Amino acid sequence: MALTPAAGGCGDSPASSVPIQSPSPVNAEVEWDGFDPQAYVRHNYADLRADDRELLRRTRDFFAGAQLAEARCVDVGSGANLYPALTLLPFARRVDLCEWSTSNVRWLRTQVDGYDALWDPYWRVCAEHPAYAALPDPRRRLAQVGRVCRTSVFDLPQHAWDAGTMFFVACSISADRSEAEHAVARFLRALRPGAPFAVAVMLGSAGYRVGPRSFPAVALRRAEVVAGIAAGAYDVTVHEEHPRPPLRDGYLSMLLATGRTRGRPR
């Protein structure tokens, strides 16, 4: 993700970037095109962990009960993770996978065309629910409805989507806390009023490595994340996972929040 203007957004109308000044390293200072999606996937998703399984199960059940059909959906900051988009598939006439890093965009396009077998266990968790089991060929469905868009979370249009996900984005795109807060607010404003959503973050993150490179993070706290989401949402439900063993050093837990967006279209 970056604060620079998007090169071709997913929405119907443009939204200008709002640069945020901070002494901390900010999103625009990070070399996101050097992100290695293959290394990231190998470390994070080659095996389906119990914590991801639980987040996936809860997100699946939430969207299955949200009374969605033929919805325009978005996954913001898709990076090198397909499972949030998979939770939207049965209910979507389109899924926009929005990502800024050019290396991640290239990876996403290959996966949308026909995703790797390592994602099959993730879909099997989804298919434990009848709403997902009714979809016979999720690979083909993603190829039909998926659209990869190179755009920044800070450039999302307002009120463009009927449902959305944003997993592990706000916590891991900057060392600036105000940018994390801004990312959550922009995501929620990108959804139409009443739209169901799921947001996941790492709490207490001290940064992370992808291959030989280090990337910034913000050590978010549960209370501030929940308050930021509740400011733009209602019917918010929060679940916290304490992974054992942890995925990596330098974080405390994973938090999943689901709910529906407030507001009126402008």
* pLDDT at site 264: 58
CA distance 31 to 7: 16
pLDDT band at 250 (very low <50, low <70, confident <90, very high): low
* pLDDT at site 249: 63
Give 82 or 213, the one with higher predicted confidence: 82
Q: Residue 153: pLDDT above 70? A: yes
* pLDDT at site 35: 85
Say which DSSP state 247 is in: S
Tokens of 116: 């790797």
Q: Residue 32: pLDDT above 80? A: no
Q: Residue 4: pLDDT above 60? A: no
Q: Report the chain's mean pLDDT, rounded to a whole number.
A: 88
* pLDDT at site 246: 63
CATH 3.40.50.150 fits 32-261, yes or no: yes
* pLDDT at site 130: 98
* Mode of pairing for the β-strands spanning 146-150 and 92-99: parallel
The residues spanned by each domain of the chain are: 32-261
Of residues 239, 260, 150, the one with CA closest to residue 194? 260
Of residues 233, 160, 154, the one with CA closest to residue 192? 160
Q: 33-69 burial string, b = 16+ CB within 10 Å, else e? A: eebbbeebbebbbeebeebbebbbebbbbbbbebebe
Share of the chain above pLDDT 90, in %: 73
Q: List pLDDT tens digits, range 77-94.
A: 999 999 999 999 999 999
Q: What are the CA-CA distances from residue 5 to residues 61, 118, 211 (Å)?
A: 35, 33, 28
DSSP SS3 for 155: helix
* pLDDT at site 214: 83
pLDDT band at 19 (very low <50, low <70, confident <90, very high): very low
Compute the 3-state secondary structure of the chain and give helix, strand, coil in percent, each to the nearest 5: 35, 20, 40
